[in-house]
Amino acid sequence: MRELKSLKPRHYEMIRLAALGVRQTDIAKKIGITDAALSCILNGTLAQAELSKLKAEMDANIVEVVDRASAIMEATQAAAEAVRINRAMLNDPLVDVKIKARVGMHFMDRILFDRQSDDSQQASYRDILRAVRNVEDKLSRTTIIAEGVVINE
């Protein structure tokens, strides 16, 4: 059997499809070669090395996605808890009115307008209503699961 000295772009496509789990007969039909020719190419040393590399990258990406999803769920839970705490402070009759006003202003600045307390950026009443509508839209596209995990649709 003759070994390939280098992989051609067409070979990379064959290897990519094989790494994704596409059946060899389907790959051969798509590329326009025989099953035997495809088998020879995929069993070559260079193709096997590339296939191993692709599979390792795919495995690493899967782990990364799971870790990212976990971090997003934790951050979402923390944000929901922070909103509950702020709401409880605003509704508590024992909390000073000045503190309530400051909590409300901080919430508006950081959550609705995504900015630090900066008086140079005054928002109009219309801007405030638009920002509130955007938050309501985001919340309406959110599904809350029984265990407190939030998933955006």
Tell the residue number behind the tokens 């790494």, with chain if given.
19
Residues ≥6 apart with Cβ < 8 Å to 152: 138, 141, 142, 143
Class of the CATH-defined domain 1-68: mainly alpha
Q: Which of 139, 142, 138, 140 is nearest to 152 (CA)?
A: 142
* Least confident range of 4-8, 80-84, 129-133: 4-8
Segment 47-87, tens digit of pLDDT: 898 888 888 888 777 767 777 777 778 887 887 788 788 88
Mean pLDDT, rounded, of the chain: 76
Show me where the domains of the chain are located.
1-68, 69-152
pLDDT over 80 at 7, yes or no: no
For residues 127 and 117, the answer to whether their CB atoms sit within 8 Å is no
The Cα-based distances of 153 to 66, 69, 74, 75, 150 in angstroms read 18, 14, 17, 17, 10
pLDDT band at 147 (very low <50, low <70, confident <90, very high): very low
Residues with Cβ < 8 Å from 15, sequence gap 6 or more?
Answer: 7, 42, 47, 50, 51, 54
For 15-50, the pLDDT digits (tens) are 888 888 889 999 999 989 999 998 888 898 888 988
